[in-house]
Amino acid sequence: AQSVTQLDSHVSVSEGTPVLLRCNYSSSYSPSLFWYVQHPNKGLQLLLKYTSAATLVKGINGFEAEFKKSETSFHLTKPSAHMSDAAEYFCVVSEGGYNKLIFGAGTRLAVHP
């Protein structure tokens, strides 16, 4: 069975410093992987997705993620945090038929001035 582990429940950074949100997955075959973001009182928005093309995936708002099969990781990074990046981030793996998604528990990102 597929699963997703987000290694940090909370991450706090200063504005202008790099962001790293860590995600490990388990999958019996080549997965599709996603990062979604949820701002307070808003629905989920797709940041980026990996579907077996380039291993370095660029998303919206300057975020990117690298698929590392040997480490079963899909960490999300951004070179310079902005106050508007404060939100909850979910790492997600797509499982089998019908496009079912398995969500990690989420990482809450706080950005301080």
Give the residues lining the site for other proteins (CB under 8 A). 9, 32, 34, 36, 42-46, 49, 51, 90, 94, 96-101, 103-106
Q: How far is the CB of 27 from other proteins (least distance, A)?
A: 12
Q: Which is nearer to other proteins, 97 or 113 (CB)?
A: 97
Residues whose CB falls within 8 Å of the CB of residue 100, separated by 6 or more in sequence, listed in order: 94
Shortest gap between Cβ of 46 and other proteins (angstroms)?
Answer: 5
Residue of 95, 103, 111, 112 whose CA lies nearest to 5: 103
Phi-psi region of 102 (alpha: psi -120 to 50; beta: other; left: phi over 0): beta
Closest CB to other proteins among residues 73, 94: 94
Shorter beta-carbon distance to other proteins: residue 25 or 36: 36
Q: What separation, in Å, do the N-terminal and C-terminal C-alpha atoms of the chain show?
A: 41
